[in-house]
Structure 1
Amino acid sequence: MNSNFTGIVLALAGGVLVGNCMLPLKKIRTWPWECTWLVFSLVSLVFVPCLIAALAVPAWPGIYASLPFSALLPSLLFGFGWGIAQVLFGISVVRLGMALAFTIIVGLGTVFGTLVPLFVLHKGDLANGNAEMLVAGCGLMIFGVALSGYAGKLREHPQRATEHDYRSGLGIAILSGVLSSMLNLSLAFGSPISQMAVRNGASTSTAVFAVWPVALAGGLVPNLAYAVYLLCKNKSWGKLMHTVQDAFLSLLMGLLWIGAVAIYGLSTRYLGRLGDSAGWAIYQIAMILTATTGGIVVGEWKVASRRSLAVLASGVFILILATVATAVSTR
């Protein structure tokens, strides 16, 4: 099987998984959000990444001691920035609504997560046709996301938000969108870690798993801090001892999310020189298409107007074209 095709399939599979990872949240009945997020964060950002790294990377975690702290710092800091984005996302949704917040955050996250590695790490490739096709695919994706977001806004009831809430929510969403790209940047700039893993016996396809514990440790800090703050504020620690079903669903959320991230990380190793940019775009597009399809399946668009459905269909079509353009850029 062609390696580029393998990478495309893996990036699509990761996007499908992450697009579904929050579905268990709809079934949680007793636990408040902070209980679920605590379990989700510990499973997805600590336990599973460390387990995968221990199984896939020889001499892990000893390889970190062989590196200067400056080699670990970019992935750690980018991961911390992404963790802040996760917290800000929830706030922006409350103030702007899901459609507008999702459009801004995913759009900006895609632009920065795709183009920053391209312009910083692959300057010599900017003049070739693949890079131009990747930029075109990114542009199509932004257009498709904007149409999807507009369709969602048409579907939603008008919100009674003050001008202050709207402006502050817009600022928070923009900041969240920029920071959300840092999950990809933590991987793209983690090459010293993966190179050390290869020197210690890891394969080039699995060496990326040595980067994730560092990057996600940075992301754990704001996520864990916010969950603990809410647990203390709402005095909900005691609820963690009840409801096995809610605990299982929270665990499942974490497994789906980190599974998606791990598969995406693998995909970048099969997509050629522009893999860390093209893979991110394909991953994001698949996530949006999956989330949109899921919303249709569960009836979120059942009472939508014909106009909003037409705009949604146009957005989905543009996103499919963006997927094709981005896939072509990996040749």
Structure 2
Amino acid sequence: MDPITGILLIAVGSVGAASFYVPFKKVKSWAWESYWLSQGVFAWLIIPWLFALIFVPRGELMPIISEAPSSAKLLAMFFGILWGFGGLTFGLSLRYLGVALGQSIALGLCAAFGTLLPPVIAGQNMFSTTGGILTVIGVSVTVAGIIIIGYAGSLKGKEMSEEQKKAAVKEFALKKGLLIAIFAGIMSACFNFGYEAGKPIEDVALAHGTNPLFQKNPSLIFILLGGFITNLVYCGFLNIKN
């Protein structure tokens, strides 16, 4: 894939990531845990299977899943469970900080840790190549931006009255929201580890004629299933409790 196409696809994904929470503003009578889990059924269960069925050669998805090593499937699901904690607390960060501040901090940290941790743990020297150096510089700029956004949020919080805070975000809580957003960003980086763990699944998918552009789709089924399990347990607990 050429870089321009890659950037365009990233832009499309960014629009989706930035706007998925907006429809929840119209939900008035449901508790957070109810509508969060409802969107999760579609996002983490239905869509991964749908996309895999569309982009994997017809009739090959189930053979790919059955032939893939059990260790790869379980490990991908395990990292998905860890990522689920990130996704879950990401939703909570939006609950306490609002969409703009919560997304900026959580997604920024997710991008930073998700980019740097896998090669560092694999023992790669990021400073040995021009690409690695530029990546570190880009992540550093991202982290600097997150610090500025967090500081701006704290200043805004000090200037607003409690009534204004509640009007902007119903359950606004700056300190709690910042801590949750930082945790969400770190745990969300486990998604990349899920991809690393799912490489044996990708190899089987390629052997069955899957287009290399869509070779990760079978792995996504297991990563997102793990994330769904985390959210199902927590949201189910809250629904029973409340």
TM-score by length of 1: 0.61
The answer to whether residue 41 in structure 2 is matched with residue 33 in structure 1 is no
Q: Take 1:197 and 1:124, find their aligned partners in 2: how far apart are those partners?
A: 30
Q: Which residue of 1 aligns with 2:54?
A: 55
Distance 1:86 1:53, change over 3 A: same
Q: Which residue of 2 aligns with 1:281?
A: none
Query: CA offsets, 1:41-90, max 9 Å, x none?
Result: 11111111111112222311221221222122332111101111222334
Distance 1:65 1:81, change over 3 A: same
Q: Take 1:22 and 1:166, find their aligned partners in 2: how far apart are those partners?
A: 19
The answer to whether residue 199 in structure 2 is matched with residue 229 in structure 1 is no
Distance 1:130 1:158, change over 3 A: farther
Q: Which residue of 2 aligns with 1:18?
A: 17
* AA at the equivalent of 2:202: S
User: How many Å apart are 1:100 and its aligned residue?
Assistant: 7.0
Distance 1:104 1:148, change over 3 A: closer
Q: Which residue of 1 aligns with 2:76?
A: 75
Distance 1:24 1:92, change over 3 A: closer
Matched-pair identity in %: 31
Q: Which residue of 2 aligns with 1:214?
A: 222
User: How many Å apart are 1:226 and its aligned residue?
Assistant: 2.0
Q: Take 1:23 and 1:100, find their aligned partners in 2: how far apart are those partners?
A: 14
User: How many Å apart are 1:29 and its aligned residue?
Assistant: 2.7
Distance 1:196 1:121, change over 3 A: farther
Q: Which residue of 2 aligns with 1:175?
A: 183
User: How many Å apart are 1:145 and its aligned residue?
Assistant: 2.0
Contact 1:49 1:213 in 2 (8 A): yes
Q: Which residue of 2 aligns with 1:127?
A: 128
Contact 1:100 1:153 in 2 (8 A): no
The answer to whether residue 154 in structure 2 is matched with residue 145 in structure 1 is no
User: How many Å apart are 1:129 and its aligned residue?
Assistant: 0.6
User: How many Å apart are 1:198 and its aligned residue?
Assistant: 0.5
Q: Take 1:131 and 1:199, find their aligned partners in 2: how far apart are those partners?
A: 31
Contact 1:100 1:150 in 2 (8 A): no
Contact 1:54 1:61 in 2 (8 A): no
Q: Take 2:134 and 2:66, find their aligned partners in 1: how far apart are those partners?
A: 40
3-state SS of the aligned residue for 1:211? Answer: helix
User: How many Å apart are 1:220 and its aligned residue?
Assistant: 0.5
Q: Take 2:201 and 2:238, find their aligned partners in 1: how far apart are those partners?
A: 34
* AA at the equivalent of 1:29: K
Distance 1:32 1:14, change over 3 A: same
* AA at the equivalent of 1:224: L
Q: Take 1:196 and 1:27, find their aligned partners in 2: how far apart are those partners?
A: 43
Q: Take 2:180 and 2:17, find their aligned partners in 1: how far apart are those partners?
A: 23
3-state SS of the aligned residue for 2:61? Answer: coil
The answer to whether residue 208 in structure 2 is matched with residue 196 in structure 1 is no
Distance 1:26 1:217, change over 3 A: same
Distance 1:172 1:24, change over 3 A: closer
* AA at the equivalent of 2:138: G
Out of 175, 189, 192, which is 1:184 matched to?
192
Q: Take 2:221 and 2:104, find their aligned partners in 1: how far apart are those partners?
A: 29
Distance 1:4 1:166, change over 3 A: closer
Q: Take 1:233 and 1:176, find their aligned partners in 2: how far apart are those partners?
A: 23
Contact 1:92 1:101 in 2 (8 A): yes
User: How many Å apart are 1:102 and its aligned residue?
Assistant: 5.1
* AA at the equivalent of 2:131: N
Contact 1:103 1:146 in 2 (8 A): no
3-state SS of the aligned residue for 1:11? Answer: helix
Q: Map of 1:79-90 to 2, 5 A cutoff?
A: 79-90=80-91
Q: Give the number of aligned pairs.
A: 228
Distance 1:124 1:167, change over 3 A: closer
Query: CA offsets, 1:217-240, max 9 Å, x none?
Result: 000011112222222223xxxxxx
User: How many Å apart are 1:186 and its aligned residue?
Assistant: 1.6
Query: CA offsets, 1:190-245, max 9 Å, x none?
Result: 211111101011010011111111100000011112222222223xxxxxxxxxxx
Contact 1:83 1:218 in 2 (8 A): yes
Specify every segment of 5 or more residues in structure 2 that has no aligned partner in the other structure, as ranges. 166-172
